[in-house]
Amino acid sequence: MRKNVSIILSVIMLLDLCSCSASLKRYTRVITGYFDTATTVTAYDVSDEAFEEHVEEFESLLREYDSLYSIYDDAEGTNNLKTVNDNAGIAPVEVDQRIIDLLLWGKQCHSITGGKVNICFGAVLKIWHEYREEDANRLPSYDELCEASAHTNIEDLIIDEASSTVFLQDPLMRLDVGAIAKGFAGKSICDYASSNLWHDAAISFGGNVITFGNKKADGHSRWNILVENPDLLSDEEFLTLEAADNSIVTSGDYQRFYIVDGQKYCHIIDPETLYPASEFSSVTVICDDSAMADLLSTWLFIEDQETGMEIVDGMDGVEAIWTDSGYNVTMSSGSSYYVR
């Protein structure tokens, strides 16, 4: 009797799971206005109404993180990173725990990369941003950049976890979290989404893609993620990667750049030279942690090929794909397992 009851219960549970899987539909929504990019959500849900409700909740989280991590716009009713920058050298600023968490991760990133990724590099990045956006016919002088780089010491970033305050001791220091914010926020948002909104989804925050579950909600089909071709003059597809519970992040020189005297200058600045990195057109990183993938894609874009390969080979569960300025592709040892 007990055995028969167990079999019946197992069959009912299996039928219930099959019924739920069969009723799921695939939906896609593009959300704009956050983190300076378009966010694309592709997910399986039980109905149009359920998907709309879940997307609304997802967008609300996205809006919160974007507002907290902004260095350009004030956040209504709360302090954000712009508030911290505005109070450099003046006073500590009480902030949301999510800002504390991001800045603590930023300090780790500085340590991991030996300073190649520095969230306190804003004084230099601000100059490049202004030239790129407002004076696209000239380059900043080395003296101007060198003077700004004197205000990038991460030790001047004081984080008081007990009082939830952040203080920039140097009045000319500025935070810029562009190298790590999308990956860090994406990880937190997608952790919530996978536990509370969807079981199967692929979410693209611009060049940062996070997948969980499967592309057909059938328990075994991986997502296919197309990596954008860095050669803007080509209409050929570039690379398609297979992903399941992965993060795929690409840093490239083909979206934010400007050209002076026929030379392209991208937005990724090497802290040693104070000028844009130029060896690669794109670097794609695959791993199971979006925050780490975001960090690595910038770090590897700055480092030379040999150093980058050593970094990847020394890390478990991380693969990378480099495309040089001539659009030649090099893959780390395990990348072939991901490429279709």
> Do 129 and 62 lie in a common domain?
no
pLDDT in tens, 213-224: 988 766 667 888
Q: How many CA atoms lie within 13 A of 159 on its CB side?
A: 20
Helix (H, G, I), strand (E, B) or coil at 294: helix
What is the domain range of residue 112? 78-168
> Do 90 and 60 lie in a common domain?
no
How far apart are alpha carbons 336 and 340 in whole angstroms? 8
For residue 83, which of 177, 151, 72 has the smallest C-alpha distance?
72
> Do 203 and 62 lie in a common domain?
yes
pLDDT value at position 239? 80
pLDDT in tens, 286-310: 999 999 999 999 999 999 999 999 9
Helix (H) or strand (E) holding 329: strand 329-331
pLDDT value at position 14? 34
pLDDT in tens, 78-109: 999 999 999 999 999 999 999 999 999 999 99
Helix (H, G, I), strand (E, B) or coil at 275: coil
> Do 37 and 101 lie in a common domain?
no
> Do 282 and 141 lie in a common domain?
no
Owner of token pair 């490429």: 339
Owner of token pair 């804003």: 122
Report, as an integer, the average pLDDT of 115-134.
95
How many C-beta neighbours within 10 Å does residue 249 have?
A: 28
- Separation in Å, CA 180 to CA 36, 93, 132, 261, 291: 14, 21, 21, 31, 7
